[in-house]
Structure 1
Amino acid sequence: MFGKLAEQLLARNLAPLVVTGMLEVVFPSGKSQRFGAGTSPTASIRFSDTRAIWAILRDPDLNFGEMFMQGRLVVEQGSIYDVLELLLRHAKNVPVSATVRTLDAWRMRLKPLLQHNLRRKARANVAHHYDLDDQLYDLFLDGERQYSCAYFEQGDEPLEVAQLAKMRHLAAKLLVEPGQQVLDIGCGWGGLSRYLAEVADAGQVTGITLSVEQLEVARQRATLSDKAAQLDYRLEDYRDTQGPFDRIVSVGMFEHVGTAFHDAFFQQCRSLLREDGVMLLHFIGNSDVPDFNNPWIERYIFPGGHIPSMSEFMPALERSGLVVTDVEVLRLHYALTLRHWRERFMAKRAQAMELYDERFCRMWEFYLSMSETAFRYQDIAVFQVQMARKQEAVPLTRDYISARKAALAERERQRSPHR
């Protein structure tokens, strides 16, 4: 009785979601049902037990990924990305159930607690994701380990080309001049900071991170650079950094700050920035109204993370006294980036199995797949916000960006391989 009811309720929820393409669902009873127009793309899933269906009905945002990780939701045709694409392509047009509305309201209330990223918690959150086995990231990232949105000037170029274009784009907007002191907040494995020293000719680049693993790699790679003396990497919280700096850049770190600490972040950045300095903030943002972090992502991938809306971070930026000098929204660039990462990971999935296990591989595949569909269908984008202490710190028009990118590209061509 309960099995039949679960199947009926799931079918009722799936029918309005799958509009284009076709999704076949095989229930534990052996019965199957097709949803959609019957056209391409197509995918097929099977539930191993009725409780898995009830779990998804009760909390789809959390339990859909969990059932896939546990092998209780099995993809029999296509991939989990294909399944998510069929479910999310038209999801914004479908009203959520009363159960989901209640869960959403509860999660909005919990948001301040989950994002209360004091120093110790912030470091633990970073370690959860970035201090995994070092070999994992080599399976799907580019050679510089740029673990952030690439910049696709054509749309079909290789990942390495797009990631180099991203660094060039950032450096041009940062207006780095020879000899200047630059701070890279959340420097990762140091790819961007090395570019700023080697190609943009910054005088001194300080990179700070909360990841022990990233710090070790950044320092190792710095020793191979012809600008090693100008590169300094530290295990340091942004709240403890001492300035001043001519330029500040932060890529993919602001999502880990937490809304309660936006004021502290921008005020600290202003205090670290020289009077004629420029800062560039590159991060994942929500183009819709404020929301909570996806609960599956919160539990398994980025604890304490948040994708802020403009209305959440702009007031704190304004209160800091910094002046917004440019805002750019990169819409589908991260979807393209994630597609590269997902395809690379799946091509080397066997190697990931040697590092971890089947459950971890399913988790990572779901993470990359869900993230890609979010950037394609759920109003998630990348914001690049340029700011300064004084309006005149930045040229009057944006023409300088193209001019500086051309100059940087020429320097890239002139440099001989050094790594």
Structure 2
Amino acid sequence: MTLEQRLAPTALPDTRHRQVTERLLKGSGVRLNGDQPWDICVRHPDLFRRVLHQGSLGLGEAYMEGWWDCEQIDEMIYRLLKHGLGHRAHTFGERIAYRLQAGVINLQSRRRAGEVGKVHYDFGNDLFTLMLDTTLCYSCGYWKGLATTPDNLQLAQEAKLDLACRKLGLEPGMRVLDIGCGWGSFAAYAAHHYGVEVVGITISAEQAALAREYCSGLPVEILLKDYRDEDFRREVGTFDAIVSIGMFEHVGHKNYATYFTHAARLLRPGGRFVLHTIGSNQSDISADPWVNRYIFPNGVLPSASQLIRASEDHLIMEDWHNFGADYDPTLMAWRANLDAHWNALADTYSPRDKRMFEYYLGACAGAFRARQLQLWQVVFTHGTAGRYDAPR
């Protein structure tokens, strides 16, 4: 009998669920009802059974429903991951079911691609406007040389945008495509500071509406488009540079080659393409079940080898920059903003909504702190003469 079978929740009486939980936590520094801010305060007697049976999904849903509390979810998750409990986040059945589903179905097809827009990005522009900074960047900031405090969030985001612009070698008059433009942060920055024209595309109607407002008065066009739309290239032509920030996580392994095929066709000879994406340490087709249900439906993180295999027939990789550790302070700054502005949102959003975002931001910060997740900026070209030295 395997260890997993011996510890199967359905085979244990209630008193044993707590004992198993305590045994799993031993050595992690996280205790039940302890006095440290990363300890778990139990509010419901069935918490242990639920988490042992449902893994990450049960843990996240239980927090949303008030079954447990923790002052520092980020530090709790960090300690649990460093203790090696990350593999228990997915139950065996969930792992098999997701692999079978992802192997048969294109979870990020054109028809399904809009789900993440409706579930997450359309959640509410008012919430995201207050949670983010004035750049409206919803991706990792670049904290090099900055104190990692919430007050510096805007500076970190501006540094990230400027870093991408410098890697692209932008000059006045260039035409730039922003794949997955979000609320227009990069488009507005590049147009204002580098004098370029930008076409931004998104599949979120709410994002497109706010992006058009945010970029008003600038040479920026925001389109509600999927990068795979057959008529897209005929409508917009080709570009001197392409950027994609925080969108590749929604592409899916079945579409990686298609993505790079389209990027290569849209990029003019001599142009550069900067891809900014969260990355996974393993080449595994999987997704956290709680994140997949409540935050980013159908999302999947690429590995380094998957990116290389998908791009090698289309573009040349010139530079690979990992600053995944910078996502930790970015997420913590968003959490600080959420707490500071919640009173202005409380009439629109429920306490359950707030707890969902608390768990999401804290858990992700803990994962980046534990270096379980990475953040890559990769520069591609068609192959330019001479060497390319990427800015840092």
TM-score, normalised via structure 2 length: 0.89
Q: CA RMSD in A?
A: 2.2
The 3 A distance-change label for structure 1 pair 209 and 322 is: same
The answer (yes or no) to whether the contact 1:115–1:306 under 8 Å persists in 2 is: no
Cα offset, 1:47, TM superposition: 3.7
Bigger Cα displacement from structure 2, 159-168 vs 308-317: 308-317
Tell me the equivalent position of 2:281: 287
Of 135, 139, 144, the residue aligned with 1:144 is: 135
Tell me the equivalent position of 1:14: 25
Alignment of 1:257-406 (within 5 A): 257-319=251-313, 321-392=314-385, 396-398=387-389, 401=391
CA distance in 1, matches of 2:356, 2:154: 25
Q: Which has the larger radius of gyration?
A: 1
CA deviations on 1:303-352 (whole Å, 9 max, x unpaired) are 01111101222111012x21111111112011110011111112223333
Higher relative contact order by CA 8 Å / sep ≥ 6: 1 or 2?
2
The answer (yes or no) to whether the contact 1:133–1:355 under 8 Å persists in 2 is: no
CA distance in 2, matches of 1:289, 1:119: 24
Matched residue type, 1:308: P
* Structure 2 unaligned blocks of 5 or more: 1-11
Cα offset, 1:273, TM superposition: 0.9
> Do residues 67 (structure 1) and 56 (structure 2) align?
no
Q: Give 3-state SS (helix, strand or coil) of 1:196's partner.
A: helix
CA distance in 2, matches of 1:359, 1:155: 34
The answer (yes or no) to whether the contact 1:325–1:391 under 8 Å persists in 2 is: no
Cα offset, 1:134, TM superposition: 1.3
Cα offset, 1:114, TM superposition: 6.7
Of 73, 80, 84, the residue aligned with 1:80 is: 73
Cα offset, 1:265, TM superposition: 0.4
Cα offset, 1:102, TM superposition: 5.0
TM-score, normalised via structure 1 length: 0.83
Tell me the equivalent position of 1:111: 102
* Structure 1 unaligned blocks of 5 or more: 26-33, 403-419
Cα offset, 1:233, TM superposition: 0.9
> Do residues 46 (structure 1) and 39 (structure 2) align?
no
> Do residues 56 (structure 1) and 51 (structure 2) align?
yes
Q: Give 3-state SS (helix, strand or coil) of 1:384's partner.
A: strand
Aligned residue pair count: 373
Tell me the equivalent position of 2:14: 3
The answer (yes or no) to whether the contact 1:207–1:233 under 8 Å persists in 2 is: yes
Q: Give 3-state SS (helix, strand or coil) of 2:376's partner.
A: strand
Q: Which runs of 4+ in 1 moved over 6 A?
A: none
The answer (yes or no) to whether the contact 1:115–1:304 under 8 Å persists in 2 is: no
CA distance in 1, matches of 2:370, 2:75: 13
The answer (yes or no) to whether the contact 1:112–1:259 under 8 Å persists in 2 is: no
Tell me the equivalent position of 1:232: 221
Tell me the equivalent position of 2:3: none
Cα offset, 1:378, TM superposition: 4.4
Identity of aligned residues (%): 32
The 3 A distance-change label for structure 1 pair 233 and 108 is: same
